[in-house]
Amino acid sequence: MKKTLTVFVLVLSTIIFFTGRANAQNMSQLPNAAQTFIKTYFPKLQISKIEEDDKIYETKSFEVIFTNGYEVTFDSKGVWFVVDCQEDAIPEALIPVNINSYVKKNFPGDFITQIEVIKGEYDIELQSDLSLLFDRKGNFKSVDH
């Protein structure tokens, strides 16, 4: 019984160790553009893990998850296409000027917590849980309550 328990604990510990190592990748494994993005917009945050995925949009992507829960997804070249700051505001420098102006004018007191670029269009989520869609030039298209 003791021997079985010891073997079980050893196997479980090994699995946990190697699983953690597979996910807790070094930032240097990201494309240079992604590294620069993180250093520029989230310099004080620590990375919890980096997940490499070949399934999203049928191309390689990297999802960076920070210890505070923020997430940024990059394509294989290191260009971001999703930034999710949970309940906090996205850095304004990431938001196209037209979109930022529209949100400030039409939703005073609200702010953008998530932005996603899909085929050149911007899908944003506000702190109030409204989703807004903008074209590639930042012109408003629709709202989803």
Q: Where are the domains of the chain?
A: 27-144
Residue 27 confidence (pLDDT): 86
| Dihedral-angle region of residue 46 (phi above 0 means left; psi in -120 to 50 means alpha; beta otherwise) | beta
Q: Which residue has the tokens 């269009």?
A: 121
Return the amino acid letter for 93. Answer: A
User: For residue 45, what pLDDT is reported?
Assistant: 95
Q: Which fold has domain 27-144?
A: Inhibitor of vertebrate lysozyme, Ivy (3.40.1420)
Q: Are the C-beta atoms of residues 141 and 133 closer than 8 Å to each other? A: yes
Strand 131-134's sheet: what is its strand order?
47-53, 61-66, 71-75, 80-84, 112-118, 121-126, 131-134, 140-144
pLDDT at 17: 42
- Residue 72: closest CA among 94, 101, 54: 94
Provide the whole-model pTM. Answer: 0.78
Low-confidence ranges of the chain (pLDDT < 50): 4-24
- Amino acid found at 135: D
